[in-house]
Structure 1
Amino acid sequence: MRRHRRAKIVATVGPASNTPEMLKRLFLAGVDTFRLNFSHGTHEDHAKVHAAIRALEAEMGRPIGILQDLQGPKIRVGTIRDGKITVAAGESIRFVLSGADGDKTAIPLPHPEIFAAVMPGHNLLIDDGRVRVAVTGLGDDYIDAKVVIGGTISNRKGVNLPDTVLELSPLTAKDRVDLAFGLELGVDWVAMSFVQKPADLLEARGLIGDRAGLMSKIEKPAALDRIDDIIRLSDSVMVARGDLGVEIPHEEVPGRQKELVRACRLAVKPVIVATQMLDSMVNAPTPTRAEASDVATAIYDGADAVMLSAESASGAFPVEAVEMMDRIIRSTEQHKLYRSIIDASDPGEEQTAPHAVAAAAADLAEVIHASTIVAYTSSGTTAARIARRRPAVPILAITPHAAVSRRLSLLWGAHSVLSADIHTYEEMVERALGFAKEEGFAKPNDQMVVVAGIPFAKAGTTNNLRVVQVEG
């Protein structure tokens, strides 16, 4: 079952999509990886969905990725008298570390890490930035602030601190329990929320090991300051434009998106663009023109995948949203300007032999009009190095590992198949020909480019390239 597009689709599972029947419809519509959002739902709920996806995978005979998205630390105001208060621009208010039923002079903010790190001049954004205040003074257990943008502050509303780096582990106690559960289930990716600095990834890496890929969600300005190190320590990245768009000016989000996609492509790490991509389709059967353009922009940027959130989790039109995203991707990739835009954004070559071999394979395949590039890949790295070039020729990734095959369902351009290890050149050619014909990537008299590492079955040794003719 072959997708006739290069970029992948990630869809969030929720009440609108958590039945086996709906999961199958979404997969057939184009979903490559399913996201389980651990901010919502019980372990029992997620276990049922995981089992249904694995059963669907067996039925379809195609690998399906599963992404566990951890909630991360949520910063919220406490309980307010009468449930809410209204503040006006220019007004002075005070936040306090402890207390219940607060008012304007004592709004509970039960997070000691904020009081330890915040400084005068820093901004606090409440309820996704609908209310903005600037810190004017502080003590051990209070923060004085002036209202910049007025509005209503109600119970338990979220607080963003774009100017403050908090000494806060991105793994909460709940996250650790959820992570252990997800790893036991056998998820393919684990996404960490609110990563601020490279060290935030070390604890998660220690807990995960190589049992799943580690994905960093970029939604804090502090993460942008250390982005190269964060990408280096991650297996993939999500451009989480929701919280990021609250904490940095709206007009900066598109440029940051392009920077992040390019940086991940340079580092050979898959990157997802996420949040509100087809948001109006939560309640309507078609998107706005601006939303269609937003998805297309991510594809022109060279993103590995685009993601649906509420559209597929709780919306009224989950299948239609996936079908629309699939159509937008295919239309964009077939547009006459797509190839020139993608080529213009090529990040250049890394000066290593494996990268040079992968780049040569992509270039050679285009020059000889090969039908496909076959990549033998033990860890997924060989396929990722080829995908980094965003070749016009499809990539058929052959791997002996089911976990790698599933993770490749997030990688641009990769169609993965499972196969036992190979040991000889003859086996390499024979199996490449067999899978290429079986999966619809080659027909008689076609040429293919085959890339592998010698010795076979050893990860990270992309060093062998050959052209294979399909017999007539």
Structure 2
Amino acid sequence: MNKTKIIATLGPQCQTADQLVEFIAAGMNVARINLSHGDRDSHLRLIQLVKEARQHASSDTAILLDTRGPEMQVQEMKEAVDLVNGQELTICPTPEDPATGRIGINYPGFARDVTLGCKVLLDDGKLLLEVTAIDGNEVKTRVVAGGKLSSRKRVALPGLAVNLPSLSEEDEADIAFGVQQGVDFIAASFVRQADDVWAVRRIIEDNGGQQAIIAKIENRQGVENIDRILKAADGLMVARGDLGVEMPAEEVPVIQKRLIRAANLAGKPVITATQMLESMIVNPSPTRAEASDVTNAIFDGTDAVMLSAETAVGHNPLAAIRFLTRCAAISESSLDYDDILANGLRHRRAVVTDAISYASCATAADLEAAAIIATTSSGSTARMVARYRPKAPIIAVSPNITTVRQLQLVRGVMPLLSAPATSMDEQLDMSIHAATQAELVQNGDLVVITAGLPIQTKGTTNMLKVHTVADVCFTGQGIGTTMTDGEVRVILSEEDWKDIPQNAIVVLDGTDHSMLDNLTRVRGIIAEQPGLTSHAAIIGRELEIPVICNVTNATKIFENGQTVTIDGSTGQICYGSLRGQ
């Protein structure tokens, strides 16, 4: 199972729940619905398809609703118009007939924000105008790079601060709709400052929602205010398409690395988006440059990579998801996790949560643990552990379905739903059981468990435990610090010591001095007699072998030839031989 998460945008190519089940099987973790395309009915249909598909697939696939945001757009025109280089074109805040050399846009303040000589980009940069004069609410321009222009195409002013409101009435209605439908993420478009995020959060809370907010960084203002935005948002999206329109394209790769790094340090998930596999909209396979782009984003530290038109309208949506899955697997296997962890140490904050999160990753690396199990209510524990990008998978177990789905966006985290616990011991047992039932760990696996006390309290990651997964059969008084396995030999008389195997774990009522020679040949002792000062306990310490005392009726319970594992540090006895000793 890959660490890097995959977001697939849904659209006209997604007609049935069965298709989405295939998307999930291929590796889709989050389904994106872009509100810039389609109407409310089509958006509702896609949400219902995702819900149906995740039931069929027994999956907790998340849903991300991507808002339109404060966009300047060309107003409705009767028909598309061809703009010719050198042509004079007047931009007005009212609907106009382009045949008269005038077009309308939906932003009344356009003339206040432009300056003489500034560039105006239309249709995501395909057409270029230059401002030649400003006359009241009208802006006169000259066409520098012409082409066909149609209604509702985006208008951009690269390098200029635009005073559009952060949310339109349409956006507010869209967010309320998302809360009503129980989506997991709201992606806020064109976030320029932290207040833009808080405005979205107020609408979510006013509608009784708990959706996580992904701040889409699409202009220079957003880049410059990234630290404050990260404090307000739950995650980031590096929206490279609009960034490349608002800023020089050659700056975008550097900005991508900067934004990903900032999100990693903040412990917030980050999505790399736009044109990941653009050629697969029509082609059956991507270009080598696209494969390199995906790998580069993973090496940068992105939590997720996102497909847009590739899956929404592309000819091979399933092939695109499968390629991302394969590419992520190869990229992740090439990472130097020791170096990543060492780099994380340099940026660790001197707080308990960070110390425990880092220690969990370092311990898992040192012991080559099969997994890190994070028991979490809000998801905070799992996100903080994921911040250090450990090699071991992070199994996040939560009683909160919202948390489980929102963790689908966090790199390296495999979220599982469990029932609520009433104590820490119960919570740990339920977490291990959930991971075992999901076949993510098995008996004998060494795991590192991290959690917060008191339970169900957000942001209190303060506990770490190293544990061997096992079906514990019996518990007694443990002596020693080691764990071993071996073949049971029940000792009821002197005759039973004959031909004892070298790997024997002897089971008896108690020991005495006459057994010393025989005891030097065994791996461990299970004794019915209690007491840390009993002869069995003392001889175990002297021989440095694990001993489990106070196991009632042990000589009647265990049978010769059985294989058991005993752990002196916990006093636990398990049937079978456990790996990861």
Q: TM-score range by the shorter chain?
A: over 0.9
Gap runs ≥5 in structure 2: 471-577
Structure 2 CA distance, aligned partners of 1:310 and 1:349? 39
SS, match of residue 284 in structure 1: coil
Aligned residue pairs: how many? Answer: 466
| Aligned counterpart in structure 1 of residue 177 of structure 2, from 181, 184, 193 | 181
Q: What amino acid maps onto 2:150 in structure 1?
A: N
Q: Which runs of structure 2 are paired with 1:168-247 in the superposition (5 Å)?
A: 168-209=164-205, 210-247=209-246
SS, match of residue 131 in structure 2: strand
1:127-151 Cα deviation digits (max 9, x unpaired)? 222232333432321223454x321
The structure whose RCO (Cα within 8 Å, separation 6+) is larger is 1
- Change beyond 3 A, Cα 1:427–1:103: same
Structure 1 CA distance, aligned partners of 2:305 and 2:392? 21
- Change beyond 3 A, Cα 1:95–1:432: closer
Q: Is the CA contact 1:79–1:101 (under 8 Å) kept in the aligned structure 2?
A: no
Q: Is the CA contact 1:29–1:322 (under 8 Å) kept in the aligned structure 2?
A: yes
**Is 2:150 the partner of 1:152?**
no
Structure 1 CA distance, aligned partners of 2:117 and 2:266? 36
- Change beyond 3 A, Cα 1:43–1:93: closer
Task: Quote how far apart the aligned CAs of 1:189 are.
Answer: 0.3
SS, match of residue 179 in structure 2: helix
Structure 2 CA distance, aligned partners of 1:387 and 1:452? 14
Structure 1 CA distance, aligned partners of 2:414 and 2:121? 43
SS, match of residue 120 in structure 2: strand
Structure 2 CA distance, aligned partners of 1:375 and 1:165? 43
1:342-383 Cα deviation digits (max 9, x unpaired)? 457647112321111111111111111111111011111110
Q: Which runs of structure 2 are paired with 1:62-461 in the superposition (5 Å)?
A: 62-78=59-75, 83-88=80-85, 93-98=89-94, 100-102=96-98, 106-147=102-143, 149-152=144-147, 154-156=149-151, 157-209=153-205, 210-335=209-334, 337-339=335-337, 342-343=340-341, 346=344, 348-461=347-460
Task: Quote how far apart the aligned CAs of 1:93 are.
Answer: 4.5
Structure 1 CA distance, aligned partners of 2:343 and 2:337? 10
Structure 2 CA distance, aligned partners of 1:26 and 1:369? 32
SS, match of residue 95 in structure 1: strand
TM-score, length basis structure 2: 0.76
SS, match of residue 416 in structure 2: strand
Structure 2 CA distance, aligned partners of 1:14 and 1:342? 37
| Aligned counterpart in structure 1 of residue 40 of structure 2, from 22, 29, 43 | 43
SS, match of residue 228 in structure 1: helix
- Change beyond 3 A, Cα 1:44–1:428: same
Structure 2 CA distance, aligned partners of 1:159 and 1:353? 48
Task: Quote how far apart the aligned CAs of 1:79 are.
Answer: 6.1
Q: Decide which moves more: 419-428 or 242-251.
A: 419-428
Structure 2 CA distance, aligned partners of 1:433 and 1:67? 30
- Change beyond 3 A, Cα 1:338–1:122: farther
SS, match of residue 435 in structure 2: helix
SS, match of residue 32 in structure 1: strand
| Aligned counterpart in structure 2 of residue 32 of structure 1, from 10, 22, 29 | 29
SS, match of residue 18 in structure 2: helix
Gap runs ≥5 in structure 1: none
Task: Quote how far apart the aligned CAs of 1:123 are.
Answer: 2.1
Structure 2 CA distance, aligned partners of 1:76 and 1:429? 54
1:277-318 Cα deviation digits (max 9, x unpaired)? 111111111111111111111111111110111111111111
SS, match of residue 373 in structure 2: strand
Task: Quote how far apart the aligned CAs of 1:327 are.
Answer: 0.4
Q: Decide which moves more: 242-251 or 78-87.
A: 78-87
Task: Quote how far apart the aligned CAs of 1:110 are.
Answer: 4.4
Task: Quote how far apart the aligned CAs of 1:200 are.
Answer: 1.6
Q: What amino acid maps onto 1:142 in structure 2?
A: E
Structure 2 CA distance, aligned partners of 1:123 and 1:250? 15
Q: What amino acid maps onto 1:181 in structure 2?
A: F
Structure 1 CA distance, aligned partners of 2:330 and 2:9? 23
SS, match of residue 262 in structure 1: helix
Task: Quote how far apart the aligned CAs of 1:249 are.
Answer: 1.2
- Change beyond 3 A, Cα 1:102–1:370: same
SS, match of residue 24 in structure 2: helix
Task: Quote how far apart the aligned CAs of 1:158 are.
Answer: 2.0
Structure 1 equivalent of residue 465 of structure 2: 466
Structure 2 CA distance, aligned partners of 1:105 and 1:52? 45
| Aligned counterpart in structure 2 of residue 12 of structure 1, from 5, 9, 26 | 9
- Change beyond 3 A, Cα 1:275–1:455: same
Percent of paired sites with the same residue: 36
Structure 2 equivalent of residue 56 of structure 1: 53
Task: Quote how far apart the aligned CAs of 1:408 are.
Answer: 0.7
1:31-74 Cα deviation digits (max 9, x unpaired)? 01101111222323222322232233233333110001111233
Q: Is the CA contact 2:348–2:355 (under 8 Å) kept in the aligned structure 1?
A: yes
Q: Decide which moves more: 308-317 or 444-453.
A: 444-453
- Change beyond 3 A, Cα 1:345–1:100: farther
Q: Is the CA contact 1:127–1:153 (under 8 Å) kept in the aligned structure 2?
A: no
Task: Quote how far apart the aligned CAs of 1:153 are.
Answer: 5.3
SS, match of residue 244 in structure 1: helix
Structure 2 CA distance, aligned partners of 1:467 and 1:428? 15
Structure 1 CA distance, aligned partners of 2:95 and 2:446? 72
- Change beyond 3 A, Cα 1:99–1:387: closer
Q: What amino acid maps onto 2:157 in structure 1?
A: L
Q: What amino acid maps onto 2:447 in structure 1?
A: M
Q: Is the CA contact 1:301–1:342 (under 8 Å) kept in the aligned structure 2?
A: no
Q: What amino acid maps onto 1:108 in structure 2?
A: G
Structure 2 CA distance, aligned partners of 1:229 and 1:139? 37
Structure 2 CA distance, aligned partners of 1:146 and 1:45? 39
Structure 1 CA distance, aligned partners of 2:222 and 2:123? 21
Task: Quote how far apart the aligned CAs of 1:469 are.
Answer: 1.9
Q: Mark the structure with the bigger radius of gyration.
A: 2
